[in-house]
Chain A
Amino acid sequence: MAGITIDGVRKSFGATTALEAVNLEIADHEFVALLGPSGCGKTTLLRIIAGLETQTAGRVLIGGRDISALPPRARGLAMVFQNYAVFPHLRVRENIAFGLRMHGADSARIARQVTRTAGLLRLEPLLDRYPAQLSGGQRQRVAVARALAVEPAVLLMDEPLSNLDALLRLDMRAELKEVLREAGTTTIYVTHDQTEAMGLADRIAVLHAGRIEQIGTPSEIYHHPATRFVGGFVGSPPMNFLARDGRLLGIRPEDLDIVATGDGLPFRVNVVEPLGAQTLLTGIAEGHLVRVALNGEHHVPPGAELHIRPRPERIRWMDATTGRAIPPGTEPSP
């Protein structure tokens, strides 16, 4: 049983507040991504859970046990660092065995776990190398193997893929998902990359300016953003917003249809980006910057005057002043 409860955790550095009273419940075996732009406090929250940073107020519980005052080594968790932090003076084998040795595991268990995790992450041929002789992706796998070898109750990952190049990142993402599903460890994964969060996590917590804006499944976050920030941060390209007497009409670029002239909003196309699977139009409608994503290739010349209409069932209404979503039933007509 290793659910995590984050109870009113607050952190300030001097006069600046990095986190304000964050509450979060994570179930056993769940994979939660903390998603947000840099400086939103997601890494600070992770470091507080790890015990590398001390919270100003609040408690962290793992499996119902208050670990707020324990040093990192006594918290029963493992961590994968952004820069991998594999020990350069130890061979891959010793890196993987490090946590087990420190916890006084017997040599039979160490050997078994090293073999098992090395197999899981395809590191067998590299066990006797030093980290300096490995590529970035291989070092990353060593860092994950070192974390999984201790069979932690909770696994913390701090932007583990951000130092890899794009192609490798895609591979590692799929690999990581498989490995972690097999391990079944409760995982908290910090990232600023929404595709990583959407692709990996059971639930996503979107953080902004030290607060959790929304917690939900990737599909909830994408289709029902709780705030204007979430709609504008998640999704590539992000949600469009149009003003409607004190309210905001939020609509995803792929939920806008091109319609016949005289029907819908006039839309002047400025930029056309044929991306293969999609064609992305960027232009102006009602004085707002609007993006429209069309399926497949469309030949629209820049400067074209089109008309667009949002699909009514896909419209999300937000309050213009608070930026919060307006619950269904109270929304005006478009």
Chain B
Amino acid sequence: MSGRRAFYLTGVVVICAWVLVPLWLLAANALGGQPVIAAWPKPWFPGALSFATMAEFLAIEGVFRAMLIGFEVAVLCTLFSVALGLPAGYALARYTFRGANAFRLMVLLTRAFPVGILALPLTVGFIRLGLYDTPLGIALMHTALALPFAVLVSASLFQAIPRELEEAAWVFGCSPIQAAYKVVMPLALPGVSAVAIFAFVISWNEVFAASVLSARNRTLTAYLLAMLSESPLTYQFAGGLLLIVPSVLFIFLVRRHLFAMWGIASR
């Protein structure tokens, strides 16, 4: 084995460990129960694998409901981000208009604005509008956080689709809207799914805005933040695993599209 190859393999192992070791620790502690949590060094494989802790945890009053709310918020946020982000990205990619560059920058700058400063005015405003403590309200806030990414990524996505393909569609009988869904969308789909995943994950993991803008109808993250600090360790691990699993599953489901987008695998 040459030194170069050894270096390469070491790199791969280190990066895999970087991602997998925390996941393994979390999973082992969440599924192995009290004996594993107390043990050090940890066993490679928890002897008695049990979902008992998970089941207990899920049975705690409000956890399952918070999960559903978190899911609802994340799905709404995904829908809004895609519905608003794609047309904006398309306009940025296809048309030259006054202020296009300023718009790009402004979109990005929204991320530089600390949510903390906005917390109080937002809460007051949401209470007036009747959006406070509703999944829709939190979803709107999360959309604001996910939208810059949605706009900029879909802009580069559409830029990568040759204009001539659209023009060919027009010449061969498509209206602009038909061309969009017959030619542009099928080609943009891998990227669009990446935009959707990212919006979902941002919303699912976001905790500050979700905590501030809700009281009783909390998303899972906000709910866990509020209650876990007073819970036993087993529940803390179970909660952590529950937060991570949907994101990991989601990315696995669409990884083929992600790879296609990054050019690792062509069709």
Check if A and B associate. yes
Spell out A's residues near B (CB within 8 Å). 50-52, 71-73, 77-79, 81-83, 85-89, 98-99, 102-103, 130, 132, 146, 150
- Known A-B contacts A85-B162, A89-B187; the reply to A146 vs B172 at CB < 8 A is yes
A-contacting 9-mer, from B63-71, B143-151, B173-181: B173-181
Which of B165, B169, B172, B175 has its CB near the most chain A CB atoms (within 10 A)? B172
Contacts of B183 in A (CB 8 A): 87, 89
Nearest-CB residue, chain A, relative to B165? A85
B164 at the interface (CB under 8 A from A): yes
Say yes or no for B186: interface residue by CB 8 A criterion.
yes
Q: Is the CB of B187 within 8 A of A78?
A: no
Chain B residues with CB under 8 Å of A132's CB are 266-267
**Pairwise interchain contact A85-B173, C-beta atoms closer than 8 A:** no
How far apart sit A87 and B173, CA to CA, in the bound complex (Å)? 14
Contact: B175 with A71, CB < 8 Å?
yes
Q: What is the minimal beta-carbon distance from B103 to any residue of chain A, in angstroms?
A: 21
Q: B176 — nearest CB in chain A belongs to which residue?
A: A71
The answer to whether A73 and B162 touch (CB under 8 A), given A89-B187, A102-B178, is no
- Residues of A within 8 Å of B84, CB to CB, are none
CA distance A130 to B196 in the complex (A): 27
Bound together, the chains give a CA A51 to CA B169 distance in angstroms of: 12
**Residue B39 at the chain A interface, CB threshold 8 Å:** no
**Min CB–CB distance A173 → chain B (angstroms):** 22
Task: Decide if A150 touches B170 in the complex (CB within 8 Å).
Answer: no
B-side contacts of A71, CB under 8 Å: 170, 175
Is residue B171 contacting chain A, with contact meaning CB distance below 8 A? yes
Report if A78-B267 is in contact (Cβ < 8 Å); known contacts: A52-B167, A88-B187: no
B164 neighbours in A (Cβ, 8 Å)? 81-83, 85
A82 to B178, CA, bound (A): 23
Q: In the complex, which of the residues A77, A79, A89 contacts B168, with contact meaning CB atoms closer than 8 Å?
A: A79
Complex Cα distance, B171 from A160, in Å, reads 16
Is B267 a contact partner of A77 (Cβ separation < 8 A)?
no
Nearest-neighbour CB distance to chain B for A91, whole angstroms, equals 12
Q: Which one of A51, A86, A102 has the highest number of Cβ atoms from chain B below 10 Å of its Cβ? A: A102
Residue among A83, A89, A99, A130 making CB contact with B172, cutoff 8 Å: A99
Given contacts A87-B165, A98-B169, A99-B173, 15 further A-B contacts (CB under 8 A): A51-B170, A52-B167, A52-B170, A72-B167, A72-B170, A73-B175, A77-B171, A79-B167, A85-B164, A87-B168, A88-B165, A102-B174, A132-B267, A150-B172, A150-B173
22 residue pairs A–B, Cβ–Cβ below 8 Å: A51-B171, A71-B175, A72-B167, A72-B170, A72-B171, A73-B175, A79-B167, A81-B168, A82-B164, A83-B162, A83-B164, A85-B164, A85-B165, A85-B167, A87-B168, A87-B183, A89-B183, A89-B187, A130-B267, A132-B267, A146-B172, A150-B173
Task: List 7 tightest A-B contacts by C-beta distance, closest first.
Answer: A102-B173, A99-B172, A85-B164, A85-B168, A72-B170, A89-B186, A79-B171
- Chain B positions within 8 Å of A103 at CB level: 173
> How long is the Cα–Cα vector from A88 to B189 in the complex, in angstroms?
13
State how many angstroms separate the Cβ of A131 from the closest Cβ of chain B: 10
A79 to B172, CA, bound (A): 8
| CB < 8 Å neighbour of A73 from B170, B186, B266, B267 | B170
**CB-defined contacts of A87 to chain B, threshold 8 Å:** 165, 168-169, 183
Give A52's nearest chain B residue, CB to CB. B167
Expressed in whole angstroms, the Cα–Cα distance for A98 and B178 within the complex equals 12
Report whether A81 and B178 are in contact in the complex, using a CB–CB cutoff of 8 Å: no
Query: Are A102 and B172 in touch, CB under 8 angstroms?
Result: yes
Q: Would you give the shortest CB distance from A108 to chain B, in whole angstroms?
A: 19
- Distance in angstroms between the alpha carbons of A85 and B169 in the assembled complex: 9
Q: Is the CB of B171 within 8 A of A78?
A: yes
User: Which residues, 184 to 206 on B, are CB-close (under 8 Å) to A?
Assistant: 186-187
CA distance A268 to B74 in the complex (A): 82
- Per the bound structure, the CA–CA distance linking A98 and B171 in Å amounts to 11
Complex CA–CA separation, A78 to B267 (angstroms): 29
With A89-B187, A130-B267 given, is the CB distance from A73 to B171 under 8 Å? Answer: yes
Taking the closest CB of chain B, its distance from the CB of A96, in whole angstroms, is 10
Cα distance, A87 to B171, chains bound together (Å): 13
Shortest C-beta distance, B244 to chain A (Å), equals: 34
Q: How far is the CA of A107 from the CA of B262 in the complex (A)?
A: 38
CA A79 to CA B166, docked complex, whole Å = 12
Q: How far is the CA of A82 from the CA of B167 in the complex (A)?
A: 12
- For A82, list chain B residues within 8 Å (CB): 164
What B residues does A50 contact at CB under 8 A? 167, 171
Contact A52 B162 (CB under 8 A): no
Most A Cβ at <10 Å: residue of B168, B169, B174: B168
Contacts of A88 in B (CB 8 A): 165, 187
Instruction: Give the contacting residue for A78; candidates B165, B167, B172, B266; CB below 8 A.
Output: B172
